[in-house]
Structure 1
């Protein structure tokens, strides 16, 4: 797939450093919105709310109010970490018998489950799980926010009123999903040209070609005025549920009222002289904790010598995940539909937030009344019965998200990534780079990585030394790949680091839209 790519091209990103706050996001304009909130005196939580909603407007295929996720919060005043789960769950009226196996082998999207007739667990209204992203953001804001909720949604509303512009990156993303988007009239009307062809980008029309997000703007305005209650039990949620039921799905107003965000004690992960914190429960947090438990028993030596240890630790951790959590794997080449951002404010408060629709463009359908792309969270479940993660009414989804916090040698950091099962490999290695090798963010984010999410195969950055590759081949078959702009062979991380005197932020070097933005000076 990457045979034609240049072997001499080198891409590097500037890593922002400041004595104020920083927002590192998969979308630059979302990071800018968060940084402006910090300038206005907002807490890291306030910046996270603004950033999250702008991401949902400007990367609507990655996340949005009709999705879910999880976040880790660090409160500098109390020295405590908090885990906040706003994951999705199956609707109460879901009927397992509506998802018969087709007998045609593996499914066509992220997970190699047995294929369901008409891919009903992937596309369309029956694939929609109950979202909770808005409630998750509001729960954190109610607890720690400083600025009014409505003000924090204003940047997202403004972007939606204007409409998301189509540049080359957006055009490629839409083109890759055009056939699936054409299945739903409302999705086709929003993202396709005359309902058939992907919106094209050219330098002559880039400024004018925008997606009409007027209905989304109206929905965000309602959320700004009424809060999460509008979606979780209110009229906005009722309209969304009616749209989904009208297209054959199960989502109800009662489902939305019942699925609310929950705070949990974080999963504390001691590692050498560091303390790490991850999400507990049905996330990738326990898998990350397992990987660090395996790493702790090994002497890593130099960073080049550490890669075989990473491969062994992640391989063992994934095996434990599969056997104990019911996640039977994920197609290693498939794109995930997730976004991550990390925030640190000038007081040292941190947020590590991952939000998702699951697949790219979620269920590939839009709620006509709300203008929101819907998730396809039902695909997280194994359609075969009798498995730990089998599909069932009202069950909570098993997510791959892994937002985390860490502290070591007087510095604190917040990390996370998008990329499905690739996430935990990236987060584990980045945290180790910082803890074990005292790397700053520029060094850590430009350092080559491995991915162990493809079963027995090791996916290795081709920039690694031949000697490292040779040692990895003694563990498992190795596939070398060059980091590319699209598709991403590895996860797309975003992180912030606080040394006390300085704060820095970074995003995946190959992410065309991702950037870290410092809080502007002045009030």
Structure 2
């Protein structure tokens, strides 16, 4: 199967959707009066759209898309990771599903520290001690049992075909193949999947078959979560851990449960904002920033003007400071001040501390007992709206690109390295962005804080926007800017997503600009206000759907920053 050969079912999967309004090009969104799916891989989006065409709802389509991404987007799509799903039904039902990974039972608060009190060998990011107990399978199944329409087995059919018969690898995967080849002695189980039998590299367009992943997905298809958290798959995972220095056991897997939660809610200029509660920090932070910015005439200041960027930065600074101080797993932090953080009164207090033309200063002095940890950008997002108007915003992740880079031997899936999202050094925060506040310290069965920010926006009882993005801590600010671009600057969903972005996270006190799209004069004025600037090549890969409240037409867009992303509309009857 290493030849440049495309199985017939892949040909059909690629081209059948062309019968409908499927193709997206740059700043032109896909439009339809039926259902639509956007994700970071067009084959996965097509899998979801096929489910919609077969009578499935938004939940069904998001699950089919997610399992397909676990095959076609190994850098972030996953069954070995976790995430969050926000749902808003056409009938006004609003709920969320928390399937963030948990710390293993054997985890301890100082498990990554050496005798000198510092992190030893980057162990919170590298190696099997960095792996949290996966949550994706449990979360997707819980959402299906509560809100799905089609039979569970039907939702995995395309993912199974993609694993069994393969799919064409893309150019953006080449660096990982080269990395695996260079580290094949340290990662033999990974090399057995992502290198050819003779140890050579897959080339762009060649077909990657994943037989072990197929078997694992088949067990999940037949038995649901029991096909992952019990039996053969659980044994393979636990044995791999025990044989290679990890601490996740079959007991950890058996005890894992996803959690349905009430969403975090706010308003912005008459729109309802529905987000994910902790351990996601995204819902709280997005609502807090929008509350602050609601007191300024952002439309008058203009999109990406120096003043608008300054005000956004000041809102980001304050929300990220609060994120570090207060947020963590709600099951371990029952007294988090969520109502205050998302209140208009608190936003007014914060707004009064903002000068219209001068930057404030991020100060870590008040966080002497505090450490912001590293979060990688390798997450992925799915937005789905079905023909009835039900909407899903789903973000899930392995953490770093390709997670821990360890494949479970015999099971074929990559493991996350999410334990790095805990604060690893209790009581230590510095100006470079290390944070060690109590709410996000490591504890057995605790879920690590996340920046994932799946959001749904509604107005007058109708959903108008489903949005989310990968990007580590930049996720929150990417989602914020797409919402502002849609509401304040009246851009269509494709232009709202394609627009250039900035990121500020309190510490370090630097604003990162995408290297394109901002004029030199804007940057100069912004710097004269007292802000320090750095640049990055890109920020996030947003996936969004907008519903016109008057016509009901749906417009979907996959960020062109995503190499293989695609927005796919449900096929015509």
**Structure 1, unpaired ranges of 5+:** 1-10, 104-113, 484-488
* Residues 234 and 189 of structure 1: CA distance in aligned 2, closer, same or farther (over 3 Å): closer
Out of 181, 186, 211, the residue aligned to residue 214 of structure 1 is 211
Matching residue of 1:505: 556
Match of 2:523 in 1: 469
- Answering whether residue 283 of structure 2 is matched by residue 289 of structure 1, we say no
Structure 1 contact 308–471 (Cα < 8 Å) conserved: no
Q: Distance in 1 between matches of 2:544 and 2:115?
A: 42
Check whether the contact 2:63–2:140 (CA below 8 A) recurs between aligned residues.
Answer: yes
Q: Within 2, Cα distance between the matches of 1:102 and 1:177?
A: 32
CA apart distance, 1:373: 0.7
- Map residues 342-381 of structure 1 onto 2, 5 A cutoff: 342-381=383-422
Q: How do residues 294-443 of structure 1 correspond to structure 2 at under 5 angstroms?
A: 294-300=292-298, 301=300, 302-305=302-305, 306-325=308-327, 328-330=371-373, 335-386=376-427, 387=436, 388=438, 389-408=440-459, 412-443=464-495
Task: State the Cα distance separating 1:128 from its structure 2 match.
Answer: 1.4
Alignment of 1:45-84 (within 5 A): 45-77=59-91, 79-84=92-97
3-state SS of 1:311 partner: helix
For normalisation by structure 1, the TM-score amounts to 0.87
Q: Does 1:227 align with 2:240?
A: no
Contact 1:340–1:354 (8 Å) recurs in 2? yes
Distance change (3 Å), C-alpha of 1:178 and 1:268: farther
Is 1:186 matched with 2:193? no
* Shift, 1:115, TM fit: 5.9
Higher strand share: 1
TM superposition shift of 1:200? 4.8
Separation in structure 2 between the aligned mates of residue 159 and residue 178 of structure 1, nearest angstrom? 23
Give the TM-score of the pair, scaled to structure 2. Answer: 0.80
Are the aligned partners of 2:177 and 2:202 in contact in 1 as well (CA < 8 Å)?
A: no
Alignment of 1:147-296 (within 5 A): 147-175=150-178, 179=182, 182-192=185-195, 199-201=201-203, 206-207=205-206, 210-283=207-280, 284-296=282-294
Does 2:101 match 1:88?
A: yes
Between the aligned partners of 2:234 and 2:561, the Cα distance in structure 1 is 37
Is the alpha carbon distance of 1:457 and 1:161 closer, same or farther for their aligned partners in structure 2, counting shifts above 3 Å?
same
- Identify unmatched segments of 5+ residues in structure 2: 1-24, 329-369, 428-435
1:281 Cα deviation from its structure 2 partner:
1.1
Are 2:144 and 1:137 aligned?
no
How far off its partner does 1:364 sit?
A: 1.5
For 1:79-130, what per-residue CA distance to the aligned partner results, in whole angstroms no more than 9, with x for missing partners?
1221111001111022556533386xxxxxxxxxx86333332222222111
Check whether the contact 2:27–2:495 (CA below 8 A) recurs between aligned residues. Answer: no
Residue of structure 1 in register with 2:43 after alignment: 29
Following TM superposition, by how much is the alpha carbon of 1:177 offset from its aligned partner in structure 2, in angstroms?
6.2
Conserved? CA contact 1:66–1:373, under 8 Å: yes
Q: 1:455 to 1:354 in 2, by over 3 A?
A: same
Q: Distance in 2 between matches of 1:181 and 1:122?
A: 19
Contact map agreement 1:243 1:369 (CA 8 A) in 2: no
Which whole-Å CA distance do the structure 2 matches of 1:411 and 1:133 have between them?
25
Counterpart contact for 2:40–2:558, Cα < 8 Å: yes
Deviation at 1:152, TM superposition (A): 0.6
Deviation string for 1:194-224 (max 9, x for gaps)?
7977x2525xxx33xx334101000100100
Distance 1:147 1:93, change over 3 A: same
Preserved CA contact (<8 Å) 2:424 2:442: yes
C-alpha distance 180-434 of structure 1, shift in aligned 2 (>3 A):
farther
Mapped to 2, the partners of 1:252 and 1:496 lie a distance apart of 40
1:190–1:298 distance in 2 versus 1, CA, 3 Å: same
Contact 2:503 2:511 in 1 (8 A): yes
Q: More deviation in 378-387 or 216-225?
A: 378-387
Which structure has the bigger radius of gyration?
2
User: How many Å separate the matches in 1 of 2:58 and 2:217?
Assistant: 21
CA contact (8 A) 2:456 2:463 kept: no
Q: Give deviations 1:206-265, integer Å, cap 9, x for gaps.
A: 33xx33410100010010010012223444223322222221211122211222111111
Going from structure 1 to structure 2, the CA distance change for 1:459 and 1:385 (only over 3 Å counts) comes to closer
Mapped to 2, the partners of 1:23 and 1:161 lie a distance apart of 24
Q: Which residue of 2 aligns with 1:109?
A: none
How far residue 438 of structure 1 moved from its aligned partner, in angstroms, is 2.4
**How far is 1:172 from its partner?**
2.9
SS in structure 1 at match of 2:309: helix
Displacement of 1:497 in angstroms is 1.2
Preserved contact between residue 367 and residue 374 of structure 1 (Cα < 8 Å): yes
Output the CA distance in 2 between the equivalents of 1:411 and 1:97: 44
Against the structure 1 CA distance between its residues 252 and 337, is the aligned structure 2 distance closer, same or farther, given a 3 Å change threshold?
same
**Helix, strand or coil at the partner of 1:323:** helix
CA distance in 2, matches of 1:124, 1:162: 31
Q: How large is the RMSD of aligned CA atoms in angstroms?
A: 2.3
